[in-house]
Chains A and B, each alone.
Chain A
Amino acid sequence: MKTNYKIEQSNKFKTNFLQVRYLVEATKENISYASLLSMYLAYCNEDYPSYKLAYDKLDELYGAKFDISIAIKGNYITFDFHISFISQRFINDNNYLTELLKIFMAFILKPLINNNRFDQDIVALKKYELAERIKSFYDDKNVYAIERFLEQFAADYPLGLASAGYQECLDEIDERKLFAFYNDLLNQKPIICGMINSNDYDLVMSLLNKQFDKTNFASYFKMYNITNNESVKTVIEEQDIVQSKLVLGYTIDEEITSANYYHYLLINALFGMSSNSYLFKIVREQENLCYTIRSNYDQYSNTIIVFAGIEKESYEKTVFLVNDILEKMKHGNIEQENFEDAKTVMIDVINKLNNSQSGLVNYYLNRTMQKLNNDLSEDIKAIKQLELTDIIVKINNIKLKTVYLLSGDKNE
């Protein structure tokens, strides 16, 4: 990516997709500000100064889907304005596209402001909404277990930050401070990425060029490794629930690079990514210990996290089995056939990205910002070239750090 613009032309989809990305450093305070700001800005804007006016307009524009997403990636919080809208070729209205882009720009550049600060009443309402959202994590036991686990596993790292922010930080935010945070954010040159039908392309580009400067691309994520020098930490929490939730966190003792990235993707595919993996086949199908078990690889922190829903009394056996599977993989107990299957699964997953506009845009943006390869065909080539012996060496860099159990006390 040479500049902060990357707009692809494609007529494959019936919609267009545009994303405008800003970055904020990932801190406890900033994640709370970014969460609240995303809710304030997505509510209305100066041109459409109420929720009804703004969202009736989007509905009138053939159900355009606008939202703001925030996520923690590496050392940054990504703040993405995105809109998906029907291509003009299906719409018999010449003003459609201009109006559509006008409201999208208004959400980004023209927030509702009163006397050099954000609207007090809307900020109060959004603070209430965010406080309730933070509180509601308690009610989704899977989400709760993972958030509580991450607090322990990645304390002092961006990965350990609560995804929606913190009540104590939220209490300190007012309409002036939030407006100042917005101004700081908008001082950046955003990174703009999209997939646009060719007959809509010129109009979209001319409008984007009017609003945003083209500059050299220089925004990269800083990835990190979580240190793991102490003995395994076990945390058990009890709640009045039926099924216990088990989370295990593994660190990788190697800095991620474009050379070793694919090794860990494949290790995760073999270990627990899908129904072809060892965790699924052994812990679920062979030992019947659970319905859900999976592992995820996070390339920003170079970690692997295993999640399972189990019966309380199966806790020790499940932990033993999960670790035993990994130990056996370290010792090279991987069938060549399973390895080839894992490669095919990964290639299939990569190929499927081609069918989603938002998937492609985010793949391109995130990979570029990680300084990793950003071409799907190169990914496939790299995976095909890997040998089983290449990855066995790497498995030995994986080490258990934290075991978390949200224990039900109602197990039968």
Chain B
Amino acid sequence: MNKQYYELIDETLYSFNCENGLQVYLLNKEGYSKTYGVFTTKFGSCNNIFMANGKKHHVIDGAAHFLEHKMFEKTNYDVMDLFSKQQASSNAFTSFDKTAYLFSATANVNQNVETLLDFVQNLELSDESIAKEKPIIASEIMMYEDDSDWQLFFQSLQGLYHNNSVKIDIAGDKKSIYTITKEDLFLYYDYFYHPSNMMLFVCGNFDLASLANTINDNQNKKTFKKLSHENINADEPKEIVAREVIKAMDVSNIKYSYSFKVNDYLLEPLKQDLAMSILMDILFAKTTSFYQDLFNQQKITSQYSYTYAQDNNFNYAFIQLSFNCEDDQFLTNYLNDYFTTDLEQYINEDDFKIIKAKYIGDFIRIFNNPEMIANSFISYSIAGYDLFTLLDVMNEITIADLKKLLQLFNQEYCSITKIVPKK
């Protein structure tokens, strides 16, 4: 078992690989009553084409999320009930790049980890149970169809991407989920749920040696088909799809997003990810003249956000600023003007120093919370980064790096999305 002590945060991470390729990470939090375990496969909504045995497979939209739902169904026991009896609660989520199954327990950690491994490593499907699940998932999709913020986010990705799978809603749509069959799900399961494509992170209060033994014993008892696959990304042109996307919903104000498709890595991926976050804070935080000017003129409301997202495994990166406004034309003119001015004038050493201090605090804060530790570690790890090196990489970022990234706000790749009130 590997052991790594991190002085700044006073934490020790233990890790090992099981013989079947499963990567295991254990972090002890003394004094905590709760232990959080998360078992993650690198199978999310963005995995929509893969090669296996020389054959190209297309994954049906929403299939990763559908599989997540079905994993909880067992003929001989109820997963949720079993966790409850063991003083734990369980849940799961699917995102662009992963499906994660989790438990949170205040007792019986070893037993709960085994339950987690066992229920995810045994898929039971029948045509009837798949048919039963479809209306439940359709209801979930309908819930998101009424969520104007969710719609704004995915409509803006539709405006940016022609083929990239990031534009597909994580749950799919009502048509796609009704085409999913038992055979489809078994196929995806065999390839993506192989232990070598998965990670287990347990964080909380437990006996380290005993838990490591339990995990190893559990995995050694099981056999898996020797299967390998290769993820394929659809070709994506540099150009955006549409300069403007408009959707009408039953809302009171206009929900507006101004997005840039990012086609280039100007820095190392992790460095670019962090530097873009810092740059966006310097340019767009609520403390900036950018936000204050718009808000003080009452041209936008306080429902405002900005984000930079990238994933080099799936070849996407985008910048998104989201607003709530009444006068969308004013906002478009304002933003078009803003992004054609010299943005370097807004970058200064004082703000850079302040934001770095905030990031140090935010990094330390992660280690208060077992869920945040495990989920952050796994997210960075799937993207190919190490959570524990974030501050080292951040310290390498210079003002010159931030200025270099300004070219990513390129209006040639800019798309506007509006959710407008129905007349």
Contacts and interface: CB of A to CB of B under 8 A. Distances in A.
B292 interface: yes
Given A59-B357, A60-B357, A348 B365 contact: no
Nearest to A355: B34
Contacts of B266: none
B301 A14 contact: no
Interface in B114-162: 132-133, 135-137, 139-140, 142-143, 145-148
A351 B106 contact: yes
A242 B287 contact: no
A37 interface: no
Contacts of B288: 52
A97 B357 CA distance: 15
Nearest to B255: A139
B361 A355 contact: no
A212 interface: no
Interface stretch (B246-254, B269-277, B408-416): B246-254
Interface stretch (B15-23, B40-48, B308-316, B367-375): B367-375
Contact of A291 (B137, B303, B324): B137
A292 B132 CA distance: 16
Contact of A129 (B301, B361, B368): B301
B360 interface: yes
A356 B36 CA distance: 14
Interface string A85-123: 110001000000000000000000000000000000000
A348 B88 contact: yes
Nearest to A356: B369
Interface string A114-137: 000000000001001100110110
A56 B354 contact: yes
A86 to B, nearest CB: 5
Contacts of B369: 355-356
B186 interface: no
A139 B251 contact: yes
B364 A355 contact: no
Contacts of A344: 84-85, 87
Interface string A251-277: 000000000000000000000001110
Contacts of A348: 84, 87-89, 105-107
Contacts of B298: 125, 128
B145 A243 contact: yes
B244 interface: no
A240 B250 contact: yes
A354 B32 contact: yes
Contacts of A321: none
A61 B135 CA distance: 50
Size category of the A interface is 35 or more
Interface in A289-315: 289-292, 309-311
Contacts of B148: 139
Given A63-B361, A243-B146, A132 B368 contact: no
Contacts of A240: 249-250, 422
Nearest to A241: B146
Interface string A364-388: 0000000000000000000000000
A360 B369 CA distance: 14
Nearest to B133: A288
Nearest to B91: A275
A129 B304 CA distance: 12
A347 interface: yes
Contact of A345 (B89, B295, B364): B89
B137 to A, nearest CB: 7
Given A125-B296, A352-B104, A291 B139 contact: yes
Interface in A308-341: 309-311, 340-341
Interface string B400-423: 000000000000000000000010
A14 B365 contact: yes
Contact of B33 (A14, A311, A352): A352
B226 interface: no
A291 B288 CA distance: 41
Interface in B361-413: 361-362, 364-365, 367-370
Given A135-B253, A241-B146, A351-B33, A309 B302 contact: no
A59 B358 contact: yes
Given A63-B362, A125-B296, A139-B252, A14 B87 contact: no
A291 B32 contact: no
A329 to B, nearest CB: 18
Nearest to B204: A355
Given A141-B147, A348-B107, 8 more contacts: A52-B292, A59-B358, A63-B360, A125-B295, A243-B143, A292-B143, A351-B33, A351-B87
24 contacts: A12-B32, A14-B367, A15-B365, A56-B351, A59-B357, A60-B353, A60-B354, A90-B9, A90-B364, A125-B295, A129-B301, A129-B302, A140-B147, A141-B147, A243-B143, A289-B139, A291-B136, A311-B142, A341-B81, A344-B84, A348-B84, A352-B104, A355-B33, A412-B174
Interface of B: 8-9, 30-34, 80-81, 84-85, 87-90, 104-107, 132-133, 135-137, 139-140, 142-143, 145-148, 174, 249-253, 255, 285-288, 292, 295-296, 298, 301-303, 324, 351, 353-355, 357-362, 364-365, 367-370, 422
List 8 A-B pairs, minimum CB-CB distance, nearest first: A62-B361, A63-B361, A351-B106, A63-B358, A59-B358, A132-B301, A291-B139, A243-B142
